[in-house]
Structure 1
Amino acid sequence: MAVARYTLTGGFSRPGTHLPSRGHVVPVDFIGVGIAASEDPAVDAWLIACLRENGIGNVRLDFTYGDAEGAAGRLLDALLDAGFRVVLHLLQPLVAARQMPSRPAAGAWREFVVATLERYGARVAMVEICSTVNRKRWAGYTLKGFLQLWEIAWQETRARQLTLAGPSVTDFEPPWNVGYLALLQQRGQLPDIHTDNLFSERCTEPERYDHKILGHRLAGLHKFNLLKKAALLQRIGADFGVPRLFSPAAFWTLPRIERLLPYGEQKQADYLSRYMVLCAASGALEGAWWGPLVCHREGLVDDGVRPYPALERITHYAAVTGKLADFRARPALAALAAVARLLPGTRYEGRLNQGQGLEVHAFRSAEGLVHAAWTINGRAAALVDLYAADDLAAATYLDRDGAVMTEAPTLASEAPLWLCWDANRQVALAAGAALLKGVVIDRHVPGKTHHFIRENGWQGIVLAADRSEADCLLTAVHPEKLGTPPRESLLRKARNAIWTIADPRHEGNHLVVKQPVKMHLHKQFLDRFKPSKALRSWSGSSDLLRRGLGAAPPVAYWEKIGDRSLKQNYYLCEYVAAEFSARELLSAFAAGETAYAGIGESEAYRLLGDFLLRLHGRGIYFRDLSGGNILIRQDADGTPQFLLIDTGRIHSYDWPLSLDQRISDLVRICNKLHWAGREQLLGRYLAAVHRRLDWRLRLHFHIYDWKVTLKRKIGRKAIKRLFGR
């Protein structure tokens, strides 16, 4: 009834809160992390040293039956003796939780709570009760069981005048918050602090509107992003008498990230930084803490132990099971340290830009002015389009992980950038600050940096290790150096001229240059509203590579500013040798061969099918997936590796393709293949997406075959052949 009443009175409606308000101070204890003990006492000292080294003074420790005399008790004593601020999360073992509210289970719980609070209550910052209460499979509670658990904990914390936090609903499911708080209010047992594990993982990126509410297409209607979620949860708590909101644990797991993107650890660090800045900007949270410090799946430190415990760590982070010698810090640890150093205690001055895709947030303190700037995944914004030249010259630049950058960056990207100035400096963002239109970059290319250049009427990006290598490349790849293609290095000249030039970085290596030279009349009109061909090729290849899919590595793109001919643009990539293409492979099987280049027919279909599933599963709709556009290289052991070329028509998504989009690509790759081969390839592919090759799907392939035949007979090329051109 409480949820229905809250809904009917407009409680869930919070228009405008997807944008942050300004003027609040970020709490000094805003950043913290979850920790757990190991049987090895040496890990205690390592944990304390790690926390101190990274400037993290707030920790959350899960504590259950038997822990006081075990490793967790030993660690808790060490943390309190070292002066750490501890949130002590008390919980029952799952078996005991499932027995609540029976008298024996309730009695054991009270005995545990009393003993723990007598020993530690006066020394901890707050006592948190329950977690993932809205997940019965994890927490174990019926409603009656939870209420009995809560009543005992509430009585004992009140008797000792301790701060009580709960009930830790997990993720964003506000009806649960309303329901539980309404019940606790009715019973006179409200917590001091309303807790919710405010995950953003299901949105993939922390600033995105939540597509789990109404789907991708309608997400812009409700605008439930992280800011609006935090604002609503804080308002719900306030409406029921608990205005203080705290998120004790949230994280991104590497397997979830790596469904779409290959650089799992880098993306974990990106998301952590972006999430923490947005939580600080919301003004709704007293704290936003990361989940496990040490574990393989989602920890900031990898302990090397891959098997996951039976109970989710968000419910009970019971122990660190790896060996100290195997511990390895991930980039996300340094990213958290940077946030902990730069944001707590600052006053939030607001989100400085308008629109979606770019985020610039300002924080000021007595120590200085800090801007956090980033884009959504794969996109970029030129800093010269965001800031005045004198502001850029006066800034100190820190990378996402807080390290001072020795070379001034030229782009804001998906990895947050910290720009720092003196405390009294006033820095305004340029009017209309926005993303570079149509530009996609592969931000996490190992050892490479994107250098944005705008000069002498040209604009482009050069990908190089540093400014010195970029300058070396510019001696050969600047558009004023490229000129017309020499006949001896020309690979193709039709609608586009494609030729090779020497790579100035490596003697004997070559780069490939592509320039449009012929535009049909209808293309001259339609392409006027699109990015240049060079930029489309750059962005298509970059989008493939950032998703872990093969393409010739981009080196640079250039476009003439204001060019109306649509021909003054160049795309450059590394020259990649390939043994053959998918067209040759499939044509051989269509001609009756049972193997090609040492690859058997069935094996070829398996490998190609797996590649296509990965391509479509990672959100790439190629739109020109002919066999000639899939190059195949063979490793030393003969294993094929697939690379895509002619990438300018790609459409990309942050979710797997629909069946219609998949079929649209598949009809093209199958055009040269006989039906027996199609059935093998498509049978494998469709089985993986739980479909079969029925007559409706077969019809798409017959229609496409007919269109290709018709085009060959009466299309443009056929007319040219007829007239001998």
Structure 2
Amino acid sequence: MSKTVVDNKAANTVAAATIASKIVPWKIWARAGLDVLSCLAEIPSWLRLSHEIHHRNRIGSDFVGVNIATSSDPACDDKVLDYLQDLSIRQVRMDYSYCSQQGDAQRLLNRVLAEGLEVMLDLFPPKEEAAALRDDEQAQQRWREFLQQVFTDYAGQVSIFEIGSTPNRGKWSGFDGISYLHAWQIATEVAQGFNLTLAGPNISDFEPLYNFAYLKAMKRVDSVPVIHSDNLFVERVVQPEAYDHRVAGNWATRKLNLNLIKKARIIAEIGHQEGCEKTYCTYKCWTRKRLSRWTLDPEQKNADYLVRYLIIAAASGALDRVYWGPLICNRDGLVDCGDSSYPYVDNVSFYKEVRGQVADFKPTKAYTAFKYVSTLLRHITCVQGVSADNGINHFIFETEQGGEVHALWCLDRSALALTDIYSKAQLQSASFRTVYGTAPVQPPHMATEQPLLIEWPQQQSLRPSTDDIRTLDDTLSSTVVYHAHPGLQSVSVNTPQWLGVVAVADGQDAEATVEAYMPASMLAKPEISVLRDTRNRLWNIQLDEQAEEIQTVKLNRAKGIKKFTYRFMPSKGKRHWNNATEMLRRGINTPQPLAFFERHSNAGIEDNYYVCRFVPNAFSARDVFHAFNSGEQSYKGLDKEAFYTEIAGFVAKMHSCNIIHRDLSSGNLMMTKDEQGLIFYAIDIGRAVIDKSKVITNMQRGIDLKRICYKLNWVDREFFITAYQRHAGKEIKYWKSMLWSYDAKQGFKKTLKAKLKRKKRV
């Protein structure tokens, strides 16, 4: 055996003994208990940190970075570098483990280093090896050799070496408290022979007890990292600005005020207390799969949230850098790889590789938004920021050229007239940008959930103050649901006679459009056809005789007992508007809402109006059921099984979006047919209930199923429910009982009505 090998073994034995002397499990856990107690003592000081922005904050050119990986195809390397050049991003982060050496990741790493990019390299062992670091000397030796090789190859080239990955997510990374401390201690020992910047511990999500405990323990076994790293997710509260209710429950949400600003400050404060110089958010994304539960266009929502998150994070001054990630992935990447499969280990813990073929890569809307906002947030100073409890978010930035950029948006489903903040003169001198950096088709009238960037070439002397923003009407208390629909702006109306909203299409004059939809103007238009005139009145008009579009107007009138019960409810016009808006944002078709109007007082019982786009050539499920009940073999070119399967699929999709129609008779489900197939429209949706939080029950599903099946015989009901269960992916128990009881109820009502009619004739 050579002297070198003997010396190395001796050195490793000494190192292992040194580590063992510092990392004694029972001592670590005992100290961890003391750390928890000291952490509890720190919590009041953390909670005293402000959730608001009070100071100017200059944002450097390196604030935004991105996580990258590659595939076995070298062409993927070229594509990654092309994207980085297009995005003008110089700061990248890569995950690097044992399998990365001499593999695809090393090939990409060498490429990006050759291009002069600033690399943060996250080093960690495989999951099984990470767990073995706790007490396996051979695993510890393999980790040491891996670090020695990487540091030797890349010291002086890689800017930052991050040690470990998501140690608070052992099911992903394999780490626990002891094994991670072994990994950190070995890394700091090996790093002593090099001039390196180390980062850690890469805590996932907002779990400050882990940050505190790990940094304390890291300091005891050797030293804390220069850069404190944390993956500061807010996806669990969905919107970037929301207060986190997951920490202590809904009751404490407004007591703790844990929004993104405050959470970033707490994480940064923990690092600074232990001696870390900087705080990085090393991974942040939203998954389009999750967003698709709430919106028809998850790509647009992903872009909106990305811009909102980065602007708040930059304005907070708490984070020195945010790495977005991943760059390429079907589920949550800025670029869709075209492959819907997803790795067993979540990308946040090990972004190992890119799936899919290079030819299938497609930049998403979030990619374009990222390109714009990352360029915007370079050498710019945040001079004022408000993320207010009234749902309004407003940030002011000064550019190096002396200009000014205002970022403005509301929380989801709410909106604000721009004239509530700015004068008409200010708006006329401004230029507007969308989240993609493009000018809107026409100057906007409302601030919505989609961020609006307003630019002036020179700083404005009449900036709205933070108090001006905070004292505006609470947009969250508004009972109107707004949707930033492509090609339409929802303009609020408030006259002495009417409250309402009008949807103004791009290219239309807003004032003229609002005037055309006012009730007096609509009532003056010739009626093309009257669809219903009983308790409520429904008719078609054409507001613009030059256009082909026809509008359907519904006049809602309260009669009988409803004169009393509707007094305590929103007007039916508003209910139709809100339900239609929410259904469309969830991907459930209903005729496009165009306007609603109600009175200032007693809105529920006074005459109110709802206007939607008329759907030509539409037929109802009632027409379909009647045809097949009459013995026809097909209708509109489709047989009974095909129709019933499609209808059941639409109802199941509606329920999967937590929407219960509550009046889903066959006449209230319209459809059209074209070359692509059937297109469904739910109508008469004033009674619909849309649950934003809970999974709907079988009983709630039955409310719709018993109504839509009422006109079917029992054989067809069996087929329909079977098709529904297949689409819904769940069994509906006791569905026959629900339908029997509904049949009996309807039979009793018919009998009673017949008796009343006979009495009247007598």
Contact 1:382 1:435 in 2 (8 A): no
Where does residue 550 of structure 2 map in the other structure?
A: 510
Query: Is the counterpart of residue 100 in structure 1 residue 141 in structure 2?
Result: no
Where does residue 157 of structure 1 map in the other structure?
A: 191
- In the TM superposition, residue 398 of structure 1 has moved relative to its aligned partner by 1.2
Gaps of at least 5 residues in structure 2 are: 1-32
Query: Is the counterpart of residue 369 in structure 1 residue 409 in structure 2?
Result: no
**1:237-636 alignment runs, 5 A limit:** 237-242=271-276, 244-352=278-386, 354-366=388-400, 367-405=402-440, 407-421=442-456, 422-428=458-464, 429=468, 431-435=471-475, 437-445=478-486, 447-451=487-491, 460-468=500-508, 477-484=517-524, 486=526, 489-502=529-542, 504=544, 508-516=548-556, 518-520=557-559, 523-524=562-563, 527=566, 530-559=569-598, 569-577=608-616, 580-583=619-622, 606-636=645-675
Contact 2:243 2:253 in 1 (8 A): yes
Greater CA drift, 504-513 or 299-308: 504-513
Greater CA drift, 277-286 or 407-416: 277-286
- In the TM superposition, residue 409 of structure 1 has moved relative to its aligned partner by 0.5
Task: Give the aligned residue type for 1:538.
Answer: W
Greater CA drift, 87-96 or 411-420: 87-96
Greater CA drift, 682-691 or 384-393: 682-691
Contact 2:671 2:679 in 1 (8 A): yes
Contact 1:257 1:268 in 2 (8 A): yes
Contact 1:683 1:692 in 2 (8 A): no
Structural RMSD (CA): 3.9
Greater CA drift, 258-267 or 526-535: 526-535
Deviations 1:296-354 (A, max 9, x none): 22211223233334433222223345554433221112211222233344444454364
Where does residue 650 of structure 1 map in the other structure?
A: 688
- Give the fraction of aligned pairs with identical amino acids, expressed as a percent: 33
Query: Is the counterpart of residue 25 in structure 1 residue 57 in structure 2?
Result: yes
Distance in structure 2 (CA, Å) of the matches to 1:494 and 1:286? 65
Greater CA drift, 349-358 or 366-375: 349-358
Distance in structure 1 (CA, Å) of the matches to 2:359 and 2:450? 30
Describe the shift of the 1:703–1:170 C-alpha distance in structure 2 as closer, same or farther (beyond 3 A): same
Describe the shift of the 1:405–1:580 C-alpha distance in structure 2 as closer, same or farther (beyond 3 A): closer
Deviations 1:623-659 (A, max 9, x none): 333332222334447x544310112233323345431
- In the TM superposition, residue 417 of structure 1 has moved relative to its aligned partner by 1.0
Distance in structure 1 (CA, Å) of the matches to 2:357 and 2:43? 49
Contact 1:43 1:324 in 2 (8 A): yes
**1:692-703 alignment runs, 5 A limit:** 692-694=732-734
- In the TM superposition, residue 291 of structure 1 has moved relative to its aligned partner by 0.8
Deviations 1:411-448 (A, max 9, x none): 22221111233335342145324428333244243x44
Gaps of at least 5 residues in structure 1 are: none
Deviations 1:112-146 (A, max 9, x none): 32232233333333211122222333223354432
Distance in structure 1 (CA, Å) of the matches to 2:142 and 2:614? 70
TM-score by length of 2: 0.82
Distance in structure 2 (CA, Å) of the matches to 1:579 and 1:27? 55
- Secondary structure (helix, strand or coil) at the match of 1:610 reads helix
- In the TM superposition, residue 535 of structure 1 has moved relative to its aligned partner by 3.1
Greater CA drift, 241-250 or 456-465: 456-465
- In the TM superposition, residue 217 of structure 1 has moved relative to its aligned partner by 8.0
Where does residue 124 of structure 2 map in the other structure?
A: 91
Distance in structure 2 (CA, Å) of the matches to 1:285 and 1:26? 12
Task: Give the aligned residue type for 1:401.
Answer: Y
- Secondary structure (helix, strand or coil) at the match of 1:308 reads coil
Distance in structure 2 (CA, Å) of the matches to 1:235 and 1:661? 48
Distance in structure 2 (CA, Å) of the matches to 1:541 and 1:274? 26
Contact 2:525 2:543 in 1 (8 A): no
- Secondary structure (helix, strand or coil) at the match of 1:32 reads strand
Task: Give the aligned residue type for 2:89.
Answer: I
**1:45-64 alignment runs, 5 A limit:** 46-64=79-97
- Secondary structure (helix, strand or coil) at the match of 2:350 reads coil
Contact 2:77 2:108 in 1 (8 A): yes
Distance in structure 2 (CA, Å) of the matches to 1:53 and 1:627? 52
- In the TM superposition, residue 549 of structure 1 has moved relative to its aligned partner by 0.7
Where does residue 24 of structure 2 map in the other structure?
A: none
- Secondary structure (helix, strand or coil) at the match of 1:332 reads helix
- Secondary structure (helix, strand or coil) at the match of 1:319 reads coil
Greater CA drift, 597-606 or 496-505: 597-606
TM-score by length of 1: 0.86
Distance in structure 1 (CA, Å) of the matches to 2:162 and 2:376? 27
Describe the shift of the 1:619–1:578 C-alpha distance in structure 2 as closer, same or farther (beyond 3 A): farther
Query: Is the counterpart of residue 136 in structure 1 residue 177 in structure 2?
Result: no
Contact 2:57 2:315 in 1 (8 A): no
Query: Is the counterpart of residue 207 in structure 1 residue 241 in structure 2?
Result: yes
Task: Give the aligned residue type for 1:425.
Answer: S
Distance in structure 1 (CA, Å) of the matches to 2:34 and 2:197? 26
Task: Give the aligned residue type for 1:490.
Answer: V
Higher alpha-carbon Rg: 2
Distance in structure 1 (CA, Å) of the matches to 2:507 and 2:50? 39
Describe the shift of the 1:581–1:47 C-alpha distance in structure 2 as closer, same or farther (beyond 3 A): same
Greater CA drift, 317-326 or 547-556: 317-326
Contact 2:526 2:541 in 1 (8 A): no
- Secondary structure (helix, strand or coil) at the match of 2:555 reads strand
- In the TM superposition, residue 34 of structure 1 has moved relative to its aligned partner by 0.8
- In the TM superposition, residue 408 of structure 1 has moved relative to its aligned partner by 1.4
Distance in structure 1 (CA, Å) of the matches to 2:721 and 2:303? 38
Describe the shift of the 1:143–1:532 C-alpha distance in structure 2 as closer, same or farther (beyond 3 A): same
Where does residue 18 of structure 2 map in the other structure?
A: none
Describe the shift of the 1:257–1:617 C-alpha distance in structure 2 as closer, same or farther (beyond 3 A): same
Task: Give the aligned residue type for 1:443.
Answer: A
Contact 1:549 1:615 in 2 (8 A): yes
Contact 2:621 2:666 in 1 (8 A): yes
Describe the shift of the 1:57–1:640 C-alpha distance in structure 2 as closer, same or farther (beyond 3 A): same
Distance in structure 1 (CA, Å) of the matches to 2:339 and 2:297? 20
- Secondary structure (helix, strand or coil) at the match of 1:146 reads helix
Q: Which of these residues, 47, 59, 69, is aligned with residue 36 of structure 1?
A: 69
Contact 1:235 1:243 in 2 (8 A): no
- In the TM superposition, residue 270 of structure 1 has moved relative to its aligned partner by 1.1
